[in-house]
Structure 1
Amino acid sequence: MMLTKITRYGEAVGLAAVLGGLATGEISTHLATNLHNPIISIGNRVVDFVPNFMKELVIRFFGVNDKTFLLTCITIAIALLAMVIGRLFAQQKARQGQYVILAMTGIAVLASLFDAKAGPFAVMPSLITGGVTALILNSFSRRKTKAESFGGEYTRREALTFAGLIGAVAVASVGFGRLLQQQANTQLERLKVILPKALRPLPPPPTDPALGVPGLSTLFTPNSDFYRIDTALSLPDISLDTWTLTIDGMVSTPLKFTYKELTNRPFFELDDTIACVSNEIGGNLVGNARWLGIRLDDLVKEAGPLSRADQIMGHSVDGFTAGFPLAALDGRDAMIAFGMNGEVLPTDHGFPARIIVPGLYGYVSATKWLSRIELTRFDEKRGYWIPRGWSVLAPIKTSTRIDTPRNGARIVQGKAVIGGVAWAPTRGITKVEVKIDNGEWQNAKLGPELANTTWRQWWLKWNATSGEHRISARATDGSGDLQGEKSVAVLPNGAEGYHSIFITAE
């Protein structure tokens, strides 16, 4: 019974000690740039080395919450280890507990050494976390030993009071860390920005068909609903006073620009649908936006690509890279974007600048938090995802999705509407067809085409008869090519296949 009590309060003290260590380590991340707490550093390494099938499985089940799932798993693992450590210290096995702390600290230190732009202080948060954790637990061990050396007992109340005090200090420390973070918070940087207008603004969008078709995706995806898939477990803090964009590599004239210099250039607007290569058939990792920025091809021309360069590689401030063919600057409106849907580019979508290349999946083109554009060669450098099994070339495939009714829905028999969106950026959509059960393919009504780079909404009125039904949809692009029917997995260059749903009319 006594051992059980010791174990329980030891676990509580262990949790408090690790929380205190993490809180102190978090504060230290604000003392220099490019520092991460141990949880983020370990998470970054998991992202780097996890097998593709596991990555796709997590995205399939958790979608844009994949990072939350990963960080939750790491936090739970650390909490369990903290309880083990606390139990060891409570049972007078301090040496074994210290070995576990040392091992955890070593893992975190190694992980931090591989963080993007890791400098000489990169290991500091991990070392501080481990050191503070050890100090707290050693203090607990001394208190317990002292109480027992006089024939007494270190009571449960004393242990929990100690743990509570440490926990309270840890929470206060995290709050202090947040105050420090606000000194260079990217959100505050965004508030300083007033973007210029486009020289030739696009016409206002037409009336949105989604207003008349409940459940249909809106013409433009609101920024708050826009999907986010990237490798960044923590959003970078960027100061516009120090941020620059460099264009170098295989160029005759390397260039460097400040944010002010770039935003003083002529701006244009682009309506473009972007998609993640991990988007499953019928998935929601796709969105349509009106982007605001400057022409990428103008900057590249100013730098003067050398004749042997065949790849444009974007570099993010967090170390991510994505490369696409120089030949993709073929007249399409490739952009360095500073605005999205009428506002300054949101932090989680790449503030202060990102690349948008119509017609290419994001993993080869859409570098967020852009800091460098490098002209290079495919046979010399590969973007982040290419060594991990993804294709070098990645044009977005023609796809369609049924938005309404939802798969598995129960609807009232009689008049109903089937609706969705279809996309084939740079080729456009000319036809969407719907098939109900084993019937003939029927042409759906198409919504407005903003440009051949955007999705088109579609809908079909239907007299739903009682019973279960299978509904399928397919799209034809502007080249006259029908999307692929055979189901193809997302790896290595995007899913293919008709989207089908099953519903019941009652």
Structure 2
Amino acid sequence: MPADQLAPPERIPRGYAAALGVTSVAVAVGAGHLAAALVAPAASPPLAVAAAAVRLAPLPVVEFATSTFGTADKLVLFVGVAVVLVAVAALAGLASRRRPLPAVAVVVALGVVAGAAAWTAPSFAQLDVVPALAATIVGVMAVRWLHRGLLPVPVEPSDPSPADADPGTVTRRGVLHGSAALGLVGAAAVVAGGAGQLLGRGVGDSRADVTRLLAAARVAPAPPVPPGADLTAFGAPSVITSNADFYRIDTALRVPALSATDWTLRIHGMVDRELTLSFADLLARPLVERTLTLTCVSNEVGGDLVSTARFVGVDLRDVLRDAGVRDGADQLLSTSVDGWTAGTPTAVVLEPDRGALLAVGMNGEALPREHGFPVRMVVPGLYGFVSATKWVTDLELTTFAARDAYWVQRGWAQQAPIKTQSRIDRPRAFGSVPAGPVLLAGTAWAQHTGVERVEVRADDGPWQTAELATEVNLDTWRMWRAELDLGPGRHVLQCRATDRSGATQPEQRTAPVPDGAAGWHSVVVTVS
């Protein structure tokens, strides 16, 4: 047959080819997620890659994401990863219209990337490569099977198609056959991914058990919130933040699923006696409740990454004293189950009145999963990145010279006491208020030092002293309110706080890096 009369090579139609790539990668991700749920939850391919992206991202990028998206930063990251993955998968499918090799190569490359991301994670274990391997095998099988099923079906007399149809024409039977193949693989992707997600949620019963244990346990209660401490009626936030509203900032892209019965804490390093505590061992110790404010170092001036809760736990100082801290151990390096680390000054934790906790309860129930269940650290007066390790499983007494914690390696400070701050909560920025006496209300905090005074002013005018709410304790935020007489027009309102040491917030704004933001908070309002 002359060359110009040869039938053109069979090719998958473009739409089906793009769907082949996306569906194959989707079922690979689902298989990897399911395998991870069975053997290594943190090594799920999308989670491992996203976590690696966070580890490798330049500090300005990480800080921009946190300050811009706040607690939605993880969702934004996952959406970004998903968009890139879909685009790459679709292009791989389009490159595989004649042969499956390009899509196979892309699936293998994605598997290698996922495996490398898991391999380089701080908490790597040998089983962590299994999810990437499972994803790669399933993805390659899906590409090859779909490619065979999506190639155009030759025209047959029974097909209601023109007699002279081109051999590459998609017939009705071809459409049905290809759609069925894609639907089958797509359904497999959904089932595998959903099963993996469900298997990772197996801590609900454990949390309920811990909540019941805490309800029956003898706990030294925190003093009640005194009358006059809550100014919610004037626009300030509630003194106690609900668990649902408590801010969450951490590097865990998938919340660890630890049961209390499986949890242990190792205390080692520069100690006289290495200890390993079970959850039952922890609850056998004296339990105490403390009302404490936690603050994220990424909180911008006027930001909302600060919350207060009633935490129940064991005094961390007592635990360390039982282990016997050796001279020279100036850093308590705490490690989460996912490998994240924080370095806390040992001297601060050992202060008799510091009140550092290994917390197991929060606002009358077991710690929520996203806030560290079953056990987390809480150290009043220090930003969370140097003190508030969630899902804590390891405490090592060491030195700052010997070990750098997670965020210190990325340019943040070793020492990070919380800076005195204040915030205007009412009126809201860019809001409108009627002329005359305008009510201002807000929050101030100077943990472990205490707020002495809050002042407000309008349009660079004279400072006026605000009325402070009753203090709960030195380690919680304090509400305030004030009135300013404002005429019609646009006004700039400012506030500043002074702590019990006599230090007043500086006017100059500084970014959160490396040890927390500073500056006066201001809002612009329109008076009419």
TM-score norm. by structure 2 comes to 0.91
Structure 1 residue 94: Cα displacement: 2.2
Structure with the greater alpha carbon radius of gyration: 2
Instruction: Kindly state the Cα deviation for residue 410 of structure 1 after the two structures are TM-superposed.
Output: 1.5
Corresponding letter in the other structure for 2:347: A
Q: Is the 8 A contact 1:13 1:159 kept in 2?
A: no
Equivalent residues in 2 for 1:353-372, closer than 5 Å: 353-372=375-394
SS of structure 1 residue aligned to 2:43: coil
Distance change (3 Å), C-alpha of 1:199 and 1:9: closer
What is the distance in 2 between the residues matched to 1:308 and 1:39?
42
Of residues 308, 311, 324 in structure 1, which corresponds to 2:344?
324
Q: 1:478, CA displacement in angstroms?
A: 0.9
Other-structure match for 1:73: 80
Pairing of 1:461-500 with structure 2 (within 5 A): 461-500=483-522
Do residues 212 (structure 1) and 229 (structure 2) align?
no
> What is the Cα deviation at residue 159 of structure 1?
2.5
Give the partner amino acid of 2:119.
L
Secondary structure of the equivalent of 2:234? Answer: coil
- State the Cα deviation string for residues 386-445 of structure 1 (Å, max 9, x = none): 111011110000001111111111122234311110001010001000011132100111
Alignment-derived partner of residue 43 in structure 1: 50
Distance 1:235 1:252 in 2: 34
How many equivalent residue pairs?
A: 501
- State the partner residue of 1:310: 330
Q: 1-side partners of 2:183 and 2:333: how far apart?
A: 50
Name the CA distance, whole Å, in 1 between partners of 2:460 and 2:151.
78
Equivalent position SS for 1:419:
strand
Kindly state the Cα deviation for residue 112 of structure 1 after the two structures are TM-superposed: 1.1
Equivalent position to 1:267, from 276, 281, 287: 287
Task: Give the 3-state SS of the residue equivalent to 1:159 in structure 2.
Answer: helix
Contact 2:490–2:527 (8 Å) recurs in 1: yes
Compute the displacement of 1:146 (Å). Answer: 7.2
Deviations 1:86-128 (A, max 9, x none): 2122x21422222222221111110111234322221111122
Secondary structure at 2:76's aligned position in 1? helix
Residue by residue over 1:350-396, the C-alpha shift from the partner in whole angstroms, topping out at 9 and shown as x without a partner, is: 11111111111111111100101110011101111111101111000
User: Aligned partners of 2:301, 2:10: CA distance in 1, in Å?
Assistant: 55
Instruction: Tell me which moved more, 192-201 or 110-119.
Output: 192-201
What TM-score, normalized to structure 1?
0.95
Contact conserved, 2:441 with 2:480, CA < 8 A, in 1? yes
Against the structure 1 CA distance between its residues 97 and 435, is the aligned structure 2 distance closer, same or farther, given a 3 Å change threshold? Answer: same
Distance 1:157 1:407 in 2: 57
Instruction: State the Cα distance separating 1:482 from its structure 2 match.
Output: 0.7
Checking the alignment, whether the CA contact within 8 Å between 2:42 and 2:338 is kept in structure 1 is: no
Other structure's SS at 1:322 match: strand
Q: State yes or no: 1:28 paired with 2:48.
A: no
How many Å apart are 1:9 and its aligned residue?
Answer: 1.9
Does the residue aligned with 1:367 lie in a helix, a strand or coil? coil
Distance 1:179 1:59 in 2: 28
SS in 2 for 1:224: coil
The within-5 A match list for 1:30-109 is: 30-89=37-96, 91-109=97-115
In structure 1, distance between residues paired with 2:405 and 2:261: 28
Deviation at 1:148, TM superposition (A): 4.7
Whole-angstrom CA distance in 1 between matches of 2:372 and 2:192: 29
Instruction: Verify: 1:379 aligned to 2:401, yes or no.
Output: yes
Moved more, 393-402 or 307-316: 307-316
Matches within 5 A, 1:418-497: 418-497=440-519
Where 1:460 maps in the other structure, the secondary structure is strand
Give 3-state SS (helix, strand or coil) of 1:374's partner. Answer: strand
Distance 1:371 1:298 in 2: 17
Report the residue type matching 1:138 in the other structure.
R
| Rounded Cα–Cα distance in structure 2 between residues aligned with 1:421 and 1:21 | 49
Residue 264 of structure 2 corresponds to residue 247 of structure 1:
no
Give the aligned partner of residue 159 of structure 1. Answer: 178
Cα distance between partner residues in 1 of 2:495 and 2:42: 48
Q: Among the aligned pairs, what percent are the same residue? A: 37
Contact 1:434 1:473 in 2 (8 A): yes
Pair 1:408 & 2:454 matched: no
Q: CA deviation at 1:464?
A: 3.2
CA–CA distance in structure 2, aligned partners of residues 274 and 27 of structure 1:
35
Q: 1:265 to 1:285 in 2, by over 3 A?
A: same
Pick the aligned partner of 1:134 from 132, 140, 159. Answer: 140
The answer for the alignment partner of 1:345 in structure 2 is: 367
Q: 1:200 to 1:135 in 2, by over 3 A?
A: closer
